[in-house]
Amino acid sequence: MLKVNDINVFYGNIQALKGVSLEVNEGEIVTLIGANGAGKSTLLKTLSGLLKPKQGTIEYLGSSIAGKQAQSIVKAGISHVPEGRRVFANMTVEENLELGAYLRKDKDGIAKDLQRVFELFPRLLERRKQQSGTLSGGEQQMLAMGRAIMAKPKLLLLDEPSMGLAPLMVKTIFSIVKEINKEGTTILLVEQNAHMALSVADRAYVIETGRVVLSGTAKELKETEQVKAAYLGGL
């Protein structure tokens, strides 16, 4: 579904991605794990059209999307849930969700997906009229994911959904990630919480200072000494 081949991405003179290649197949949950500053968010921003690779190719469903406008990438079925959630604080939960569908015209489909989001996240249904800025961190994460689902993505890019959340909320969020995937959405998940990420993913890539240094099935990586020592707290 997605083939990233040898991309280089720069911020001015600083090279954040150095020859990164990876693949996501339809139906998978693929995770990209790595420490702070490794380049994970940069990769997602490049996939969603916020940054342009200086070199390399990005193929999505057989077409090149490298350097395309973010809006046309959303239209093609890629939705990005950014780090830090970025919900519109002064708008209600429902208004934020409706905004996720701004490029769609199929009213019936939009109404159906709103119901689906409320089924996945009953907490959002309870709070549909509440100002989003007053939600808890976990609820804002739910809202950001719900808003992305409203765009009807084929591929969902999730940037550190567990960040800053209590362990119970992290569990809830990850079980919903699984659920969304089961219903047919392919997922590329960026995480610092390698333990949780490897427990839900089919395959994984490890990124260090802008380079992919390891890849394999989640099961294989969980048992790799290097991953255990650096990302699983020696477990």
Binding site for ligand ATP (CB under 6 A): 11, 14, 16, 34, 36-42, 83, 192
**Cβ distance to ligand ATP smaller for residue 37 or 109:** 37
- Which of 211, 228 has the CB closer to ligand ATP? 211
Q: How far is CA 144 from CA 38, 129, 151, 186, in A?
A: 23, 16, 11, 17
The least distance separating ligand ATP from the CB of residue 59, rounded to whole angstroms, comes to: 21
Residue whose CB is less far from ligand ATP, 78 or 207: 207
CB of 139 or CB of 191, closer to ligand ATP: 191
User: Which residue in the block uniquely carries the two structure tokens 């959904």?
Assistant: 161
Q: Is 156 helix (H, G, I), strand (E, B) or coil?
A: strand
The alpha carbon of 204 is separated from its chain's Cα centroid by a whole number of angstroms, namely 14
In the bound complex, what is the minimum distance in angstroms from residue 35's beta carbon to ligand ATP?
Answer: 7
**CB closer to ligand ATP out of 23 and 83:** 83
If DSSP codes are grouped into helix, strand and coil, which group holds residue 61?
coil
Distance in Å, CB of 119 to ligand ATP, minimum: 31
Write the burial class of residue 150 (CB in 10 Å: 0-12 exposed, 13-18 middle, 19+ buried).
Answer: buried
**Closest CB 190 distance from ligand ATP, rounded Å:** 7
Q: Which residues pair with 131 in a beta bridge?
A: 92
Residue 50 beta carbon to ligand ATP: minimum distance, rounded to whole angstroms: 10
> Taking the complex as a whole, how short is the minimal distance between the CB of residue 39 and ligand ATP, in angstroms?
4
Number of H helices, E strands in the chain: 10, 10
Of residues 37 and 133, the one with the C-beta less far from ligand ATP? 37
3 state DSSP class of 203: strand
58-68 b/e (C-beta count within 10 Å ≥ 16 → b):
bebeeeebbeb
As a whole number of angstroms, the distance between CA 16 and CA 191 comes to 17
